[in-house]
């Protein structure tokens, strides 16, 4: 009789352990901000193809993606750790694992360090030292410059903190060539200019959240019309920068056409947001947010395909 009871107890215990383990894994994955990592990796592979002017070595691509994803994941996990007090006050972040208690602060901090060190060592061993240094720099920019210094102090937080998001193009180029030149720097500047019109509409959508948390996003400090105008200016600068790649990297007709058409769409949405803002209407900022992602994705698909067909 006791044997049957013990067996049932073990089965129940096993059923509880498995979901708990899965929740832990899901919590660690959530710390890395996988959607951000996914977007960053989208720009890495095309940059590597452009650097190679063809298909790079497959193992090098895989190694770079693993190291780049781990670097970005480490930065995201550190951000979740240091911003856990803010995350607890915002509806947008209320389901993050440090808010729900799925992971402890100590677990998150250890995970962040281990992932960051592993990413740097991985890139140094399987790519080159320049790529590893760039991966480490990306972590430091996002954690120190953006999270610890700028985010709670200035409306320009996302502008300069966005440098971390520009690093994957340098990482991808350096992994292939072991140097840096003008094309990756143009791509770096492109993402730098793209980041504000990508993120500021999101901050317009969650303005109340940021205001409640005391984070001085531009949309919190200034009105919608001012934010809309800044989105337009940065969008124009982004599209202009994308066209610089044509003469500097000898891009062909495919890239040129995609840059013009997708850039035109991005500009249309930016002007539409501003027009609605100055008329006092619902500016529908998430249209620009999602449109900016589509723009960057299409543009970098063209960056990767153009060298293969022209």
Angstrom distances, CA of residue 275 to CA of 137, 159, 221, 234: 39, 23, 20, 16
Task: Indicate if 147 and 215 belong to the same structural domain.
Answer: no
Task: Indicate if 305 and 243 belong to the same structural domain.
Answer: yes
Give residue-wise pLDDT tens across range 212-244: 878 888 888 888 889 999 999 999 999 999 999
Of 155, 179, 203, the one marking the end of a domain is 179
Of 162, 179, 196, the one marking the end of a domain is 179
Task: Indicate if 174 and 192 belong to the same structural domain.
Answer: no
Which CATH number goes with the domain that contains 227?
A: 1.20.120
Give residue-wise pLDDT tens across range 105-127: 999 999 999 999 999 999 999 99
Asked if residue 14 belongs to a domain, the reply is: no
Which CATH number goes with the domain that contains 164?
A: 1.10.357.140
Task: Indicate if 162 and 212 belong to the same structural domain.
Answer: no
Q: CB of 310 within 8 A of CB of 250? A: no
User: Domain count of the chain?
Assistant: 2
Task: Indicate if 147 and 60 belong to the same structural domain.
Answer: yes
Give residue-wise pLDDT tens across range 140-175: 999 999 999 988 888 888 888 888 889 999 999 999
Asked if residue 19 belongs to a domain, the reply is: no
Residue 221, pLDDT score: 85
Work out the pLDDT band at 53, boundaries 50, 70, 90: very high
Q: What SS3 class is residue 178?
A: coil
Task: Indicate if 174 and 186 belong to the same structural domain.
Answer: no
CB neighbour class for 113 (10 Å; exposed up to 12, middle 13-18, buried from 19): middle
Domain that holds residue 193: 181-310
Q: CB of 169 within 8 A of CB of 188? A: yes
């Amino acid at each position: 009789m006791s044997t049957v009871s013990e067996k049932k107890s073990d089965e129940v215990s096993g059923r509880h352990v498995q979901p708990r383990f899965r929740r832990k894994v899901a919590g660690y994955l959530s710390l890395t901000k996988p959607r951000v990592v996914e977007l960053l990796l989208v720009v890495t592979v095309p940059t590597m193809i452009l650097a190679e002017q063809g298909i790079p070595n497959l193992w090098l691509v895989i190694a770079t993606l693993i190291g780049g994803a781990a670097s970005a994941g480490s930065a995201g996990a550190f951000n979740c750790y240091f911003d856990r007090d803010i995350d607890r006050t915002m509806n947008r972040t209320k389901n993050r694992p440090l808010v729900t208690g799925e992971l402890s602060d100590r677990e998150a901090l250890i995970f962040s360090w281990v992932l960051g060190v592993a990413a740097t060592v991985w890139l140094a061993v399987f790519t080159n030292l320049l790529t590893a240094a760039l991966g480490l720099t990306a972590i430091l920019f996002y954690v120190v410059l953006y999270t610890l210094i700028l985010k709670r102090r200035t409306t320009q937080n996302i502008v300069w903190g966005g440098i971390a998001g520009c690093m994957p193009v340098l990482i991808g180029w350096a992994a292939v060539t072991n140097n840096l030149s003008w094309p990756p720097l143009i791509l770096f500047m492109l993402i730098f200019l793209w980041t504000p019109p990508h993120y500021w509409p999101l901050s317009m959508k969650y303005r109340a959240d940021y205001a409640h948390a005391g984070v001085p996003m531009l949309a919190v400090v200034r009105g919608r019309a001012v934010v809309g105008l800044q989105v337009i200016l940065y969008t124009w600068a982004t599209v202009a920068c994308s066209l610089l790649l044509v003469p500097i990297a000898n891009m062909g007709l495919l890239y040129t056409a995609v840059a013009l058409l997708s850039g035109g769409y991005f500009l249309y949405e930016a002007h539409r947001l501003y027009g609605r803002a100055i008329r006092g209407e619902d500016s529908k900022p998430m249209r620009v947010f999602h449109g900016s992602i589509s723009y960057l994705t299409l543009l970098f698909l063209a960056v990767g395909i153009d060298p293969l067909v022209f």
